[in-house]
Amino acid sequence: MAEVITMPRLSDTMTEGKVAKWHKKVGDKVKEGDILAEIETDKAVQDFESEIEGTLLYVGVEEGGAAAVDSVLAIIGNEGEDISGLTGGAAAPAATEEKKSEEQPKAETAVPAAAEVPAGVEVITMPRLSDTMTEGKVAKWHKNVGDTVKEGDLLAEIETDKAVQDFESEFNGVLLKQGVEEGGAAPVDSVLAIIGPAGTDVSAVGAPKAAAQSAEKPAEQKSEAKAEEKVAPAADTSTSDRVAISPLAKKMAQDKGVDINSVQGSGENGRIVKKDIENYQPAAKPAASVPAASAAPVAVSFVQGEDTETPNSQVRNIIAKRLSESKFSAPHYYLMVEINMDKAIEARKEINSLPDTKISFNDMIIKATAIALRKHPQVNSSWAGDKIIHRGNINIGVAVAIPDGLVVPVLKNTDQMTYTQISASVKDMASRAKSKGLKANEMEGSTFSISNLGMFGIETFTSIINQPNSAILSVGAIIEKPIVKEGQIVVGNTMKLSLACDHRVVDGATGAQFLQTLRTYLENPLTLLL
């Protein structure tokens, strides 16, 4: 008898899973223990093994697709067995929907019907490169229209909500069309590019909606055109006809009163596009000369400022979402301590005197924090609704500033790393983070986070917890100032630390004890070697 296999819940926070890869196809024999598929959760990619034997009769989620936990993933049974009752007729409606989408060109389907695609032409859609990705941004095209493309060639760099990833072609041919301009964004599964034989006409591919709209509203467009002719001066109309400008940019220019003849286009062949109008800054006009005989005071001319807008990147959107969720869901409280760094400064000098060794104070703080977490596992825990998860590994996330905001690359098993390993890893990941070269799995799995603004001279600050962590350490600058030592006022070097804690997991006393241990390690660096 056929058995229905549902999408498993592979982590406490998992609500849906993505099939990264199928290891079995419909019709293949399956044995108990065979790997059916690789399932990508909100944290990692895991192998999913079959617990029954038989033939794979049905696949409920296509490769690269996602489905909710407990939905139908696959059906295994005897070869030729009727499973229509188990699938609920899911296959038939899908076919019906496809037919409807072919019959209705107005639907906002990104990929055109198969009948519209010429022979030998391949339509490449915007890939889903992460579970939370809903749209992708083309950071850079590596192939231009007309270029020859081979399988494995790098087509473009796609910016997701987590990182920038290289996207390679799976086909051979000529790049006939770019569906998204460089710097532009498009929804997942919309047309990204079209590859096929040189000279193939693909103008109709991927544009059914535009055709429908133009057929529906010819009268409306004519009325708009007439209105524009009436409003715009005759000289402007005749001139703008000779300027390469997109319709949207033209309308924006009219609304803002911008002379399009003075705008430098950044689009293809110098075409003026939306961003050119948004970023346009009029040249300052020369001050009018005042007659010498005039007794009136000279008027001061001010250039009026203009508001501009910058569309949010995928990284900025996800930062805003996650930090808001953290701040509004986790009850934050803060503990602060001041540390004498004199011995840490001396220890760093001695360590850096060794050949091929150079560590920073941040590296020392990361190491000391990892060892302190081992002694205070409650701080290395996560809130999971009806339970607290005590993390077995210590994975410290290090906040890194990038042009789009902030990312947190993760040092896995930090407590087992040496100073030099920590230093090399932080430098490598920080460098790749700023060039958007980090992979998604390098920013997942943190159990505690550190944010350091000391290099900017900030003495003390508080941070928002990077969930699912329960705490984050904020590190200030090392300040030289008078301190009391053995009853005497002397010059010392101090540094302030601030610990933000989730009160659901870390009580005040627990957080204070952790900071005491961390303080001991930093004020007496040799204790880290014990």
Q: Which residues are catalytic?
A: 503, 507
d(CA 502, CA 522): 24
Q: What is the largest CA-CA distance in the chain?
A: 106
DSSP state of 378: G
Q: How would you classify residue 270: left for phi > 0, otherwise alpha for psi between -120 and 50, otherwise beta?
A: left
DSSP E strands in 41-95: the ranges are 45-49, 54-59, 66-68, 72-77
Amino acid at residue number 451: S
Closest by alpha carbon to 440, among 1, 39, 32, 44? 44
Instruction: Identify whether the C-beta of residue 191 lies closer than 8 Å to the C-beta of residue 125.
Output: yes
Contact 481, 487 (CB under 8 A): no
User: By C-alpha distance, which of 6, 50, 61 is closest to 28?
Assistant: 50
| Listed residue (420, 445, 442, 413) closest to 364, CA to CA | 420
Cβ atoms < 10 Å from Cβ of 483 = 15
Burial of 360 (0-12, 13-18, 19+ CB in 10 A): middle
Beta strands in 93-241 (DSSP E): 122-125, 135-141, 148-149, 154-159, 164-168, 173-178, 185-187, 191-196
- φ/ψ of 228, rounded to 5, equals -65, -40
Residues 6+ apart with CB under 8 A from 195: 121, 122, 124, 149, 169, 171, 172, 173, 174, 175, 176
Q: Which long-range contacts (CB under 8 A, 24 or more apart) does 107-116 make?
A: 107/209, 108/209, 109/208, 110/186, 110/187, 110/189, 110/190, 110/191, 110/206, 111/189, 111/190, 111/191, 111/206, 112/191, 112/204, 112/205, 112/206, 112/207, 112/208, 113/208, 116/204, 116/205, 116/208
- Tokens at residue 222, please? 């004519």
Q: What is the DSSP string of 245-284?
A: B-HHHHHHHHHHT--GGGPPP-SGGG-B-HHHHHT--PPP
